[in-house]
A and B are shown apart, each in its own frame.
Chain A
Amino acid sequence: MQTPFEPRIIGFLCNWCAYAGGDLAGVSRFQYPPNMRAVRVMCSGMVHPSLVLDAFSLGADGVIVMG
């Protein structure tokens, strides 16, 4: 018995666009897989490279920076 692969994804979402888009997806009830954990940032430019590396070293299967 094998459990299907469930990736763990860290998302860095810009407060002004991607995070707002995430909210709008909610308002519009667009369904998507629950595998991403969102970190709200004030700009995708705020995402320090160390945060991305950190995520991978802690076991993330993917990192998505949206802005």
Chain B
Amino acid sequence: MNITLHTLSEVVAFDGQTGNFNITIKQHPRYVDMDKCIACGACSEKCPKKVPDSFNMGLNSRKAVYIKYGQSIPLKYAIDPQSCIYLTRGKCRACEKFCPTGAINFNDTEKIVNLQVGSVILAPGYKPFDPTGWDFYGFGKIADVVTSLQYERLLSASGPCMGHLVRPSDQREPRKIAWIQCVGSRNTNRCDNGYCSSVCCMYAIKQTLITAEHITGPDLQQTVFYMDMRSPGKEFERYYEGAKAKGIRFLRCRPHSIEPGPDGGGVHMRYVTESGQVMDEDFDMAVLSIGLEPPEGNQRLAEVFGFALDRFGFAETSNLTPVASTRQGVFVTGAFQAPKAIPRSVTQASAAAAAASQALQSVRNSMTREKVYPAETDVRDQAPRIGVFVCSCGLNIAGIIDVKALAAFSKTLPHVVYVENNLFTCSADTQNQIGERVREHGLNRIVIAACTPRTHEALFQDTLQDAGLNGYLLEMANIRNQNSWVHQHQPEKATEKAKDQIRMAVAKVTLAESLKRQSVTVAQQALVIGGGVAGLSSALGLADQGYPTTLVEKNDRLGGNALRILDTAKGEAVGPWLSGLIEQVKRHPRITVLMQARVTHTSGSIGSFTSQIDVAGDTRSIQYGAAILATGAHESVPDEYGYGSDSRILTHLEMDDRLTASPGKIAAADTVAFIQCVGSRDSRRPYCSRLCCTHTMKTAIRLKTLNPDMNVFVLFRDVRTYGKREELYQKARQLGVIFIRYALESKPDVRAAGNGIRIACSDPVLGMPVEITADYLVLASAIVPNDIQDLVELYKCGRNEDGFLAEAHPKLRPVDMSVDGLFICGMGNYPQPVEETLAQSQAAVSRACVVLNQKEMQLDAIKSVVTDKCDGCALCVDVCPYRAIRLVELSPETASSHPYARKVETDPALCKGCGLCAATCPKGGIYVQGFSLDQLHAQVAAALAQHANLYEVVKE
């Protein structure tokens, strides 16, 4: 309701100042009236013009009048003016003729829309790299060479081959597939994309695993040709290891070229293995793992809005303000800022929302609206008067099911007093009509026989509420998705089934009750746990959004790990910025900082938590509606490579400390060596610590800058300088840093001697042993989460196997925790650099504001309720997956109103309505409103009613 979607539109002009911008949008004609289009698809079916389907990456065709994909939003067709026969050649108009609602409008014109907004977020995404023209990969020439995005469509159930993977040349299942990584990434030779696209290693692994689900049999062979496998995200390393364990072959080499395979199908490749052997191999298919490029129109966008792009064409940002463009009031997010995977994009998007709204905090809620409904009719004492509305859905339902017969049948059902057949029950005018029928006929329960409640229940609930009926006095019979669409060849049986479906719906709705949505009064205050960068910036963000915030830090100092960090990956100094941040937090009138403090008790749920906090011995109590856990992580203490036995063997942070304290002494060194993955990516900690490769690059560059003659060696397994950090790797190599790879099975051997640290390893390129004598050895030790066992128990929140706090959904809710009202940010979630921590903390602020902005929170009414039959046996308490049920002893006074001494109580804020309790209860002591056992029994009986009748007839 508070989002206006402008499709087929682009911004053409922008002026004004922060907080108040004027925007001009050019809206291209759709040629389809959005109000009339019901997405029946008749136009597309009749359209004679086929064009390559860009959604399927040109693998098949679509019509000139189209929807992008089945679940497209808005689900309204559009005419592509470049290919429409009428719009290009003046003849045809077939779609217009066949459109049942007269939605086609060839007179549609371009519109200019003027808007006033307070701030701007740019999320134009990216452009998949196009390998056309790279003749050595044969893309476009060899049919069985596809891009990874095309391959994605080949795998997809909604793709051109309906999820049955076949190769393009002969539509046969490929058995031997090769992936080539870094096509259009980490390449300054052919395309000047010097950055790493960050996502290709992981999506290639995913594609191999999904392929293995599609194609079974021992002869499936999958090979990934790579330079470095980069899986530096949460659970990514396990995913990679899992793929290796499943037999996916990972080869570190770059095939020079792809040639056509024998017999016109597949491909032929020649490559050189690590041991120097030249191999010739045929594959059924090759997938090019294409990188991410800046989106088309990025230059124009930068001109219109007046902000800077970086040298690759992505939006320029500072690592200390990761979503702010160089233009005040204009924010950038997603892959447009830098190549990144979905969770980071989602996180950054929330961060941009928080940043964009901060300046507008004083006018929050000034433009948004809330819907007001008339008072509800009390139907408790009324006999059921059911109205049944049977939707034809154009021909979607009426084409198969005899809707007239269905309507006639509905009239015979008990309590049904009114039946109507509509062309489209969901259309706006029918909605109004339903309201009128409710008033005319005194209806108090409604059955809609149409599509699925999963998409349309909310709409019809709204209709009922507009008509003064409780939204839960509705039942839908899904006669489209689960009937006419799936029984297209059996119209009679489909009609019989539809009758049963309506009978079931009527039986259920007869027993329906008005349900009240519970609401919780929101404590519009926040708690932030952890005083590192993540905690500081989220506390500041919340306070700037207007919410009083308490910041709890267990130590006596704010700043966390950042106190020891010299600069960001882009070279911005951290120290002065951090002092500024701490000052702002300390001085902010809406922030209370509690040092040497720990949360000791917590109760309540989203919107209304209460906690006791021990502050250096004193206890205080606070109330809050949402909390952000920024509990952090720390550099681990290595227990290998002689750490602790010699003062010249250091961790990263120790090296940084020395570089700050006595740079001259370090600069005088002749040789410095680094060992990567110390305590990471092994059996004990099977995750990548994400930060260390970049940290090593920065330190190595610093050393080489201090003393260009210094020998700097880096012993690594895979260099994981993802995204634009790849530039640091390039720079380090240009400065002469020497990189030597080692394998987990043959770790370097370190021995401290009088004249230096002796490091022995084997160089896989030379195939020879190497010995380095270094003045200093820096160990890139793993990042491990701080101990937060107490908080985990207090909030009952989840952690992954490595001890990092778990998110509600790794892709779509990356900063929400599984406990509603709790949010995570920073290294307590996963090791990450300052800019990602800042984006995450702003994202957590944004998500927390969604909770805190509400004065009252409405909960769904589908919740469990306890009846008088409950005797407190507590069987349900154990099965409840949400811990929403507790057992209470009744006091003598209350016991008189309840026949038993004990009973259970449910917390509606925690209950998700799953009904495990109802199915467990042996005595009907608890049930889920809207899905009571009686209602379900009634549905079962109704479903079998016809059969039961027949059965009786036979008996007679």
Q: Is the CB of A39 within 8 A of B914?
A: no
Q: Is the CB of B914 within 8 A of A40?
A: no
CB distance from A67 to the nearest CB of B (A): 10
Pick from A20, A45, A50 the residue with the most CB of B within 10 Å: A45
Tell whether A25 is near chain B: CB-to-CB under 8 Å: yes
Question: A45-B916, A48-B919 in contact; A58/B936 too (CB < 8 A)?
Answer: no
CB distance from B916 to the nearest CB of A (A): 4
Q: Is the CB of A23 within 8 A of B483?
A: no
Q: Is the CB of B947 within 8 A of A59?
A: yes
CB distance from B77 to the nearest CB of A (A): 16
Q: Is the CB of A26 within 8 A of B919?
A: no
Within 8 A of B (CB), among A21-43: 22-23, 25-32, 34, 37-43
Question: A37-B497, A39-B940 in contact; A28/B157 too (CB < 8 A)?
Answer: yes
> Which stretch from B181-189, B484-492, B603-611, B900-908 is at the chain A interface?
B484-492
CB distance from A46 to the nearest CB of B (A): 3
Q: Mark B899-926, 1 if CB is under 8 A from A, else 0.
A: 0000000000000111110110000000
Provide the bound-state CA to CA distance between A40 and B951, in Å.
26
CB distance from B45 to the nearest CB of A (A): 13
CB distance from A26 to the nearest CB of B (A): 3
Q: Mark B481-509, 1 if CB is under 8 A from A, else 0.
A: 11101111110011011001100100000
Tell whether B388 is near chain A: CB-to-CB under 8 Å: no
Within 8 A of A (CB), among B276-298: none
Tell whether B349 is near chain A: CB-to-CB under 8 Å: no
Provide the bound-state CA to CA distance between A56 and B166, in Å.
44
Q: Is the CB of B485 within 8 A of A43?
A: no
Q: Is the CB of B933 within 8 A of A19?
A: no
Q: Is the CB of A10 within 8 A of B70?
A: no
Within 8 A of A (CB), among B457-501: 478, 480-483, 485-490, 493-494, 496-497, 500-501
Question: A46-B918, A55-B944, A59-B951 in contact; A41/B936 too (CB < 8 A)?
Answer: yes
Q: Which residues of A contact B493 (CB under 8 A)?
A: 34
Grouping DSSP codes into helix (H, G, I), strand (E, B) and loop, the A interface class, with mixed when no group exceeds half, is mixed
Tell whether A49 is near chain B: CB-to-CB under 8 Å: yes
Provide the bound-state CA to CA distance between A39 and B933, in Å.
12
Question: A28-B158, A34-B490, A59-B948 in contact; A54/B940 too (CB < 8 A)?
Answer: yes
Tell whether A47 is near chain B: CB-to-CB under 8 Å: yes
Provide the bound-state CA to CA distance between A42 and B943, in Å.
19
* The one of B482, B879, B931 that contacts A26, using a Cβ cutoff of 8 Å: B482
Q: Is the CB of A58 within 8 A of B486?
A: no
Q: Is the CB of A41 within 8 A of B487?
A: no
Q: Is the CB of A42 within 8 A of B951?
A: no
Provide the bound-state CA to CA distance between A55 and B452, in Å.
24
Q: Is the CB of B918 within 8 A of A58?
A: no
Q: Is the CB of A41 within 8 A of B943?
A: no
Question: A26-B482, A34-B483, A37-B501 in contact; A15/B915 too (CB < 8 A)?
Answer: no
Q: Is the CB of A23 within 8 A of B487?
A: no
Tell whether B627 is near chain A: CB-to-CB under 8 Å: no
Q: Which residues of A contact B162 (CB under 8 A)?
A: 28
Provide the bound-state CA to CA distance between A58 and B879, in Å.
29
Q: Is the CB of A25 within 8 A of B486?
A: yes
Question: A22-B481, A25-B486, A46-B928 in contact; A55/B918 too (CB < 8 A)?
Answer: no
CB distance from B851 to the nearest CB of A (A): 23
Q: Is the CB of B944 within 8 A of A58?
A: yes
Q: Which residues of B contact A64 (CB under 8 A)?
A: none
Tell whether B694 is near chain A: CB-to-CB under 8 Å: no
Q: Which residues of A contact B488 (CB under 8 A)?
A: 29, 31
Tell whether B781 is near chain A: CB-to-CB under 8 Å: no
CB distance from B911 to the nearest CB of A (A): 11
Provide the bound-state CA to CA distance between A15 and B948, in Å.
27
Provide the bound-state CA to CA distance between A9 and B562, in Å.
63
Q: Mark B931-956, 1 if CB is under 8 A from A, else 0.
A: 10100110111011001100100000
Provide the bound-state CA to CA distance between A48 and B935, in Å.
12
Question: A41-B915, A46-B931 in contact; A23/B482 too (CB < 8 A)?
Answer: yes
Question: A32-B486, A58-B948 in contact; A27/B939 too (CB < 8 A)?
Answer: no
Q: Which residues of B contact A49 (CB under 8 A)?
A: 919
Provide the bound-state CA to CA distance between A60 and B879, in Å.
29
Within 8 A of A (CB), among B568-598: none
Q: Is the CB of A48 within 8 A of B918?
A: yes
Provide the bound-state CA to CA distance between A1 and B497, in Å.
24
CB distance from B472 to the nearest CB of A (A): 13
* The one of A28, A34, A38, A47 that contacts B487, using a Cβ cutoff of 8 Å: A34
Q: Which residue of A lies closest to B494 (CB)?
A: A34
CB distance from B669 to the nearest CB of A (A): 60
Q: Is the CB of B454 within 8 A of A39?
A: no
Question: A41-B915, A46-B914, A58-B944 in contact; A19/B486 too (CB < 8 A)?
Answer: no
Provide the bound-state CA to CA distance between A34 and B493, in Å.
7
* The one of B71, B483, B486, B501 that contacts A30, using a Cβ cutoff of 8 Å: B486
CB distance from A19 to the nearest CB of B (A): 7
Question: A27-B481, A34-B497, A42-B862 in contact; A47/B919 too (CB < 8 A)?
Answer: yes
Provide the bound-state CA to CA distance between A51 and B924, in Å.
13
Tell whether B546 is near chain A: CB-to-CB under 8 Å: no
* The one of A10, A22, A46, A59 that contacts B482, using a Cβ cutoff of 8 Å: A22
Q: Which residue of A lies closest to B493 (CB)?
A: A34
Tell whether B453 is near chain A: CB-to-CB under 8 Å: yes
Q: Which residues of B contact A39 (CB under 8 A)?
A: 504, 936, 939-940, 943
CB distance from B156 to the nearest CB of A (A): 11
Q: Is the CB of B914 within 8 A of A45?
A: yes
Q: Is the CB of A51 within 8 A of B481?
A: no
CB distance from B539 to the nearest CB of A (A): 36
Q: Is the CB of B501 within 8 A of A42?
A: no
Q: Which residue of A lies closest to B930 (CB)?
A: A42
Q: Which residues of A contact B453 (CB under 8 A)?
A: 40
Q: Which residue of A lies closest to B508 (CB)?
A: A39
* The one of A19, A27, A38, A46 that contacts B919, using a Cβ cutoff of 8 Å: A46
Q: Is the CB of B487 within 8 A of A31?
A: yes
Provide the bound-state CA to CA distance between A22 and B481, in Å.
7
Provide the bound-state CA to CA distance between A57 and B771, in Å.
81
* The one of A30, A45, A50, A59 that contacts B933, using a Cβ cutoff of 8 Å: A50
Q: Is the CB of A37 within 8 A of B862?
A: no
Provide the bound-state CA to CA distance between A43 and B913, in Å.
8
Provide the bound-state CA to CA distance between A49 and B922, in Å.
10
Q: Which residues of B contact A34 (CB under 8 A)?
A: 483, 486-487, 490, 493-494, 496-497
Within 8 A of A (CB), among B219-262: none
* The one of B494, B500, B931 that contacts A42, using a Cβ cutoff of 8 Å: B931
CB distance from A18 to the nearest CB of B (A): 11
Q: Is the CB of A10 within 8 A of B487?
A: no
* The one of A27, A31, A38, A54 that contacts B937, using a Cβ cutoff of 8 Å: A54
CB distance from B416 to the nearest CB of A (A): 19
Q: Is the CB of B914 within 8 A of A43?
A: yes
Q: Which residues of B contact A29 (CB under 8 A)?
A: 485-486, 488
Question: A20-B454, A23-B452, A31-B489 in contact; A58/B915 too (CB < 8 A)?
Answer: no
CB distance from A28 to the nearest CB of B (A): 7
Q: Which residue of A lies closest to B455 (CB)?
A: A23
Provide the bound-state CA to CA distance between A20 and B162, in Å.
18
* The one of B70, B494, B944 that contacts A27, using a Cβ cutoff of 8 Å: B70
Q: Is the CB of A48 within 8 A of B489?
A: no
Provide the bound-state CA to CA distance between A31 and B248, in Å.
35
Q: List 6 A-B contacts (CB under 8 A).
A: A19-B454, A22-B478, A28-B162, A31-B486, A54-B937, A58-B940
User: Which 9 interchain pairs have the tightest Cβ spacing?
Assistant: A46-B915, A26-B481, A43-B914, A26-B485, A37-B943, A45-B916, A58-B944, A23-B481, A34-B493
